[in-house]
Amino acid sequence: MITFMNNSDSEEEPCNERTSLMSAESPPVPSYQDGLQASEAGEAQAHRKRRAGSSRGPNNITGGETSGSGVPVRESALENEEEELTLKYGAKHVIMLFVPVTLCMIVVVATIKSVRFYTEKNGQLIYTPFSEDTPSVGQRLLNSVLNTIVMISVIIVMTVFLVLLYKYRCYKFIHGWLILSSLMLLFLFTYIYLGEVLKTYNVAMDYPTLFIVIWNFGAVGMICIHWKGPLQLQQAYLIMISALMALVFIKYLPEWSAWVILGAISIYDLMAVLCPKGPLRMLVETAQERNEPIFPALIYSSAMMWTVGMAKPDTAARGPSQQTWDAAEDGREHLRSPSHAESQMSETRSPVPTRPVTSLEELEEEERGVKLGLGDFIFYSVLVGKAAATSSGDWNTTLACFVAILIGLCLTLLLLAVFKKALPALPISITFGLIFYFSTDNLVRPFMDTLASHQLYI
């Protein structure tokens, strides 16, 4: 019964995708297909669910998730069973989210440690106009705070813009925006990344080969993310995109600003999702009212929604549109344009018609995965990457931040299971991560270093 909804704020800035868990319990309206959909009335369904939940493997091939959220959650007398189901599947989905987050972090840390390009200071984004090269500490602090304010306000403006676009149904605009963003991300950033990696390892590659490789990579990526593709491939692309974006941030954000921005973004996330007037919350609610998935290409989903057994005549007609919708829905991605490109946050909104209420009377096995916004991926990776880059080469700090973030994610998902509504994924993890980073860097490191130099073990 946990619907996971990811709100993605696409903006030029790093997306503030939040993981929101939407509870699927809006009786009249099918909830988004996000998240676990567990509440099916009737024991049979509960049982089917149980069976279904464990055997979703083969259905993952369809591109995108089928929007299966239409099942209204009915509080049945089997609430206890549902809860148990929730917890069981919640645990499974936690693990399903651990893997991509870990992969993304591994990619970022590996790149940071080996490719020196991403740790060199080569200028700043226009979103952080104040330089940190000042001699005095106070001035530097002030500049970083000002940078943060600028960045957060840009994010807020973009989010509100997005919400307005969504409210007034300018789907095409959002769609185009998102496509443009992902295009740039897939081609330009990959080109830069590949170039730097090749430079680091001193491998020569001629331009035609490079062109072919990047063209294939980018084209397949666009198709996978915005249209249909195997789930694993789509997940892989989303992870790579998040990693690329995180690397850009690590490179172009000045040091202190990066930390302050991380803190400020988690606070903003908290407010935007939980406050009644927060833009993300309005987005989520509007999308729920209209029975539409939230932006496609901005959310990572861990499983396919597979809706089977709709009313017969419906299926055929609904099939294709549903597919596109789901695919689009799946392909959400947070695209943040780096400043050196125009910020064009493309938000892909799935322009699909509202889904009919999916009342699954028959065999409706939906394996709802958990959805996590790409922005969350990006910021987690930024934190770990920055820890790897600036912690004087210490792996302990990186590891500590990694564990902290995963534990934060666990806790968030637990809260999701308890509260059953959209929740921000950033605050807890980022807080833990920041605490652990600063404490490990300053307190634990000297201790461990001294111990290790005497070869003492504790």
Q: Which residues bind another protein (CB under 8 A)?
A: 80, 83-84, 87-88, 393-396, 399-400, 403-404, 407, 436, 439-440, 443-444, 446-452, 454-458
Query: Of 85 and 352, which CB lies nearer to another protein in the complex structure?
Result: 85
Q: In terms of DSSP bridges, do strands 18-23 and 2-7 run parallel, antiparallel, or are they unpaired?
A: antiparallel
Least Cβ distance, residue 236 to another protein (angstroms)? 27
241: left (phi over 0), alpha (psi -120 to 50) or beta: alpha
Is 449 among the catalytic positions?
no
Query: Of 315 and 442, which CB lies nearer to another protein in the complex structure?
Result: 442
With b for 16 or more beta-carbon neighbours within 10 A and e for fewer, the 41-60 pattern comes to: beeebbebbeebbeebeebb
Tell me how far apart the alpha carbons of residues 360 and 71 are, in angstroms, rounded to a whole number. 6
Query: Of 215 and 447, which CB lies nearer to another protein in the complex structure?
Result: 447
Least Cβ distance, residue 428 to another protein (angstroms)? 12
Query: Of 55 and 321, which CB lies nearer to another protein in the complex structure?
Result: 55
Tell me how far apart the alpha carbons of residues 367 and 47 are, in angstroms, rounded to a whole number. 13
Least Cβ distance, residue 396 to another protein (angstroms)? 5
Least Cβ distance, residue 162 to another protein (angstroms)? 35
- Catalytic: which of 9, 34, 269, 394? 269
Cβ–Cβ under 8 Å, residues 356 and 72: no
Least Cβ distance, residue 395 to another protein (angstroms)? 4
- Catalytic: which of 9, 34, 330, 376? 376
Is 326 among the catalytic positions?
no
Query: Of 152 and 417, which CB lies nearer to another protein in the complex structure?
Result: 417
Tell me how far apart the alpha carbons of residues 263 and 253 are, in angstroms, rounded to a whole number. 14
Least Cβ distance, residue 403 to another protein (angstroms)? 5
Burial class (CB in 10 A: 0-12, 13-18, 19+), 63: buried
185, β-bridge pairs: none
Query: Of 119 and 439, which CB lies nearer to another protein in the complex structure?
Result: 439
Tell me how far apart the alpha carbons of residues 130 and 142 are, in angstroms, rounded to a whole number. 9
Query: Of 63 and 433, which CB lies nearer to another protein in the complex structure?
Result: 433
How many C-alpha atoms does 36 have within 13 Å on its Cβ side?
A: 30
Least Cβ distance, residue 88 to another protein (angstroms)? 8
Q: Which residues contact 136 (CB under 8 A, 6 or more apart)?
A: none
Tell me how far apart the alpha carbons of residues 140 and 210 are, in angstroms, rounded to a whole number. 41
Least Cβ distance, residue 270 to another protein (angstroms)? 22
Least Cβ distance, residue 251 to another protein (angstroms)? 22
Task: Say what the alpha-carbon torsion angle 406, 241, 110, 189 is, to the nearest 10 degrees.
Answer: -150
CA angle 31, 33, 37 (to 5 degrees): 80
Query: Of 215 and 395, which CB lies nearer to another protein in the complex structure?
Result: 395
Catalytic residues: 269, 376
